[in-house]
Amino acid sequence: MPETPPLLATQGVTVRFGGNTAVDDVSLTMDEGRITGLIGPNGAGKTTMFNTITGLQRPASGQVLLDGDDITRLSPAKRARRGMARTFQRLELFLSLSVRDNVRVAGDVLRATSRKRFDLDEETDRILERTGLTDVAGRDVSDIPIGRARVVEVARALMTSPRVLLLDEPASGQTERETEAFAETLTGLAADGLAICLVEHDLPMVMRLCSTIHVLDYGALIASGTPREIKESPEVIAAYIGTEEASHA
């Protein structure tokens, strides 16, 4: 029996900006039903990896595979249609719209551009409930704490019914309590089968939620493993965990 390929994989991905190698020969995987961490110091190449996986950045070499299919040349829109969704480090929300409308509009776009048929209001309510946003649904995004606005971004990404969800520093700006609730939401989403990839400087959160963690340093993958393996890796301690940077995490 042939082995089932990971839901998402990169193979030997290299990205260069002029003479600077931002990502250097990186191979990693993400599986359905799991939260995978992608960590490393500032400038290590995490966002560039997300951009390459979602199609915003063309790699100099290497492949991105979804279900084992090479999607390296597909546009971001085609990848989205195949089940990829992401959030950005900077909030990309409509500040003067309500939380509900910010989420609803993503479903509206999906209905207009795909053959998917669903009740938009029902689906919006379901996602708001799923992400714990029902209590602020009617408020303008500009009027809620930034930590909860980050969850609105996630809710919006969920409206496209993704199979892979890439989150770029989703907990930044969250209070401890918000992070606690958010972590529970992510665990629930993964339990439903979603593959989640988390770029996050909050190391305790990453260690608690992720089954596998990939560590980048200066563009190179220096370790991949369970939280325990990562915590004990001499390379990771030297490059990241042992540095002052990690003490801010």
Ligand X SMILES: Nc1ncnc2c1ncn2[C@@H]1O[C@H](COP(=O)(O)OP(=O)(O)OP(=O)(O)O)[C@@H](O)[C@H]1O
Interface with ligand X by CB under 6 A: which residues? 17, 20, 22, 40, 42-48
Specify whether the CB–CB gap between 84 and 90 falls below 8 A. no
CB of 42 to ligand X, least distance (A): 4
Residue 17 or 204 having the CB closest to ligand X: 17
Question: Distance between CA 151 and CA 134 in Å, rounded?
Answer: 12
Q: Which two tokens stand for residue 64?
A: 């991105």
| Least distance to ligand X, CB of residue 76, Å | 16
51 sits in which H/E element: helix 46-54
Q: Which is nearer to ligand X, 42 or 247 (CB)?
A: 42
Query: Taking the complex as a whole, how short is the minimal distance between the CB of residue 22 and ligand X, in angstroms?
Result: 3
Least distance between ligand X and beta carbon 169 (Å): 7
Neighbours of 33 (CB within 10 A): 14
For ligand X, which is the closer residue by CB, 53 or 137?
Answer: 53
Q: Is the Cβ of residue 34 or residue 201 nearer to ligand X in the bound state?
A: 201
Identity of the residue, 33 or 43, whose beta carbon is nearer to ligand X in the bound complex: 43
Buried b (16+ CB within 10 A) or exposed e, 204-218: ebbbebbebbbbbbe
Nearest distance, CB of residue 206 and ligand X, angstroms: 13
Angstrom distance (rounded) from CA 55 to CA 80: 9
The values of phi and psi at residue 97, to 5°, are: -100, 160
Q: Which distant-in-sequence residues (6+ apart) come within 8 Å of 100 by Cβ?
A: 124, 128, 137, 138
